[in-house]
Structure 1
Amino acid sequence: MRAYHSGSLAVQTRVGVRDLAEHVGRSIAPGIRPVAAAFLEAQPMLVLGAAAPDGRVWASLLTGLPGFTRATGPHTLSVAGGIPSRDPLAQAVTEAGTPVGTIALDPRTRRRLRLNGTARPSARGLVVETEQVFSNCPKHLTRRALRGWAPIPGPGSGAVRRTGSLTPDQERLIRAADTFFVATAAPDGVDASHRGGPPGFVELVSPTELRWPDYPGNAMFLTLGNLEEDGRAGLLFLDWATGTTLQLSGVAHTEYGPEGRAVRFRLDAVAETEAASPLRWSAPEHSP
């Protein structure tokens, strides 16, 4: 997989950062270096993006004791447990070669690592064969401390509430969010990324439409580039105190204006899971 496809190149050219993007793109490696392997093994959560069998793109939260994600080779990431059976992506990885994007984000240290490639089921859960591995800077990352673990819900608990639009409670969760994750797709693969900002940076246009500013970042424009090529997107919001997850799937596009860029997202499917994550995090320390 090359560093950039035509969608990302088009956005880089429009914004005028092609030279910077070429320089930053040299940090993208096909394999997992030792420092990245050590980081992965210390993480209790991983966000995975992929397309479900019906074509919808989702971003899903996977959790486990540190070590549940680990590099088993220079190009392989093993994820114990795989995708929960109640998750919209539960049936997404049923054979080798499924395009996926992942991001390991540590709120404790404000570090993040992205690994894109293809996945296959395994006896342990699933394995990702990496094609792109790279770190991002801590810009827009909110610091949180891990306060502890809640009991993992047993069979029959943690039911998923599925709707086609947002409820008032879900809208309140989004308005209060300082962090969410976004998965996007393109012909050459899937990417999972992070978006952060002050509470309220995600605008509720309607119960089926969101809008957020595209803050200056690393000049790669992988997310916006994918939206140029495809448009499908999946968002993941997390209630850090209770472990509830809110997953949205729909389509998005970039708006360019004199005051900057923004992404407008129209959802067509919602999945809310109470206590989906056993991780319990502290109140936020917002990014400078």
Structure 2
Amino acid sequence: MGVYHAGSRAVQDRVGVRARADQVGRAVGAVLKPVAAAFLELQPMLVLGAADPVSGAVWASALTGEPGFVRAAGPRRITVAAGPVPADPLARALAGEGVRVGTIALDPRTRRRMRLNGRSRPAAPGLAIEADQVFSNCPKYLQQRERYETVADRAPGETRWGGELTAEQGAFIGAADTFFLTTVHDHGADAGHRGGNPGFVRVASPRELSWRDYPGNSMFLSLGNLATDPRAGLLFLDWTTGRTLHLSGEARTEFGADGDRTVRFTVRQTADIPSALPLRWSAPAYSPANPDPAY
């Protein structure tokens, strides 16, 4: 299939950006260029998203390692020398063959990001992913974190599962400046980034949160997927302690008369893992593109 499916086209047409989307879409390929391969090898973290093969729930998670743990192994393949801990919500999905996955490598130091969507399979000591789509995004709404350190003695705590947000988890989300969003469609999965000043994600109740969809590259891959399949997975990180908060549920987009868009997410499952990641990042410098979170 092409870069866009019917869901993305419907959103592009509704917003009136099909021509712009066609222009941006020319940069999407299936081959890892040398600059992309070099970028991946500098990263200590890779975010992945997929649907659980049993429950169908969509999740997002993160893998970490020393730079070089993600590496190009050919023009259309990357290897990831790490796998999820057994209690990670993506562990079952990533144990399968030919699993449709979306990935995003985000470098807070340079405010660069690239996405690779494809099919994964286990490959000791981690994964191999065959690329279907490879492309970069602009630095809009990325917070800059100038440095990180690896905390050698940090180990994941016990996963706390739930069916709704606790008050503390709601406060954690309300203070976030970044999260990762996984969506799916008939032919694949996509992992994207959302960022803003703290307060850009609003928690309405233990089962519902929302965020404004800020203007971006006009591709509407995430909203296009949601237009055809409402399942979604969210990942929030504590950039200091390594905590990961994973949410799985459904999302819908509300279009305002003035062109504004709000995404409302209904929580179905939560997985909260203390000290899941060994990385400790420096304090953020917020992106100058971030709008006022009040809405």
Cα distance in 1 between the residues matched to 2:242 and 2:96: 29
SS across alignment from 1:92: helix
Specify whether residues 153 and 283 from structure 1 end up closer, same or farther in structure 2 by C-alpha distance, changes over 3 A only.
closer
1:176-255 matches, cutoff 5 A? 176-255=175-254
Shift in Å, 1:84: 2.1
1:103-118 matches, cutoff 5 A? 103-118=104-119
Contact kept, 8 Å, 1:210 with 1:265, in 2: the verdict is: yes
Shift in Å, 1:153: 4.4
Gaps (5+ residues) in structure 2? 289-295
Q: Which residue of 2 aligns with 1:75?
A: 76
Q: Which residue of 1 aligns with 2:103?
A: 102
Cα distance in 2 between the residues matched to 1:245 and 1:93: 18
Cα distance in 2 between the residues matched to 1:251 and 1:152: 36
- The answer to whether 1:284 aligns with 2:281 is no
Structure 2 counterpart of 1:248, which letter? Answer: L
Shift in Å, 1:63: 0.5
What are the Cα deviations for residues 136-195 of structure 1, in whole angstroms up to 9, with x where unaligned? 0000000012331112545xx511000111111111111111100000011010000000
Q: Which residue of 1 aligns with 2:270?
A: 270
Gaps (5+ residues) in structure 1? none
Cα distance in 2 between the residues matched to 1:152 and 1:189: 36
Q: Which residue of 1 aligns with 2:292?
A: none
TM-score, normalisation: structure 2: 0.95
Structure 1 counterpart of 2:25, which letter? Answer: G
SS across alignment from 1:91: helix
Q: Which residue of 2 aligns with 1:135?
A: 136
Structure 2 counterpart of 1:67, which letter? Answer: G
Q: Which residue of 1 aligns with 2:122?
A: 121
- RMSD of aligned residue pairs (Cα, Å): 1.0
What are the Cα deviations for residues 9-41 of structure 1, in whole angstroms up to 9, with x where unaligned? 000000000000000000001111100000000
SS across alignment from 2:36: helix
Shift in Å, 1:83: 2.2
Shift in Å, 1:258: 2.6
Query: Structure 1 runs of 4+ off > 6 angstroms?
Result: none
Contact kept, 8 Å, 1:148 with 1:281, in 2: the verdict is: yes
Specify whether residues 169 and 25 from structure 1 end up closer, same or farther in structure 2 by C-alpha distance, changes over 3 A only.
same
Shift in Å, 1:4: 0.4
Cα distance in 2 between the residues matched to 1:95 and 1:281: 32
Shift in Å, 1:72: 0.6
Cα distance in 2 between the residues matched to 1:175 and 1:70: 35
Q: Which residue of 2 aligns with 1:89?
A: 90
Identical columns (%)? 59
SS across alignment from 1:22: helix
TM-score, normalisation: structure 1: 0.97
Specify whether residues 236 and 114 from structure 1 end up closer, same or farther in structure 2 by C-alpha distance, changes over 3 A only.
same
- Mean CA deviation greater in 217-226 or 46-55: 46-55
- Mean CA deviation greater in 78-87 or 127-136: 78-87
Shift in Å, 1:93: 2.3
Q: Which residue of 2 aligns with 1:57?
A: 58
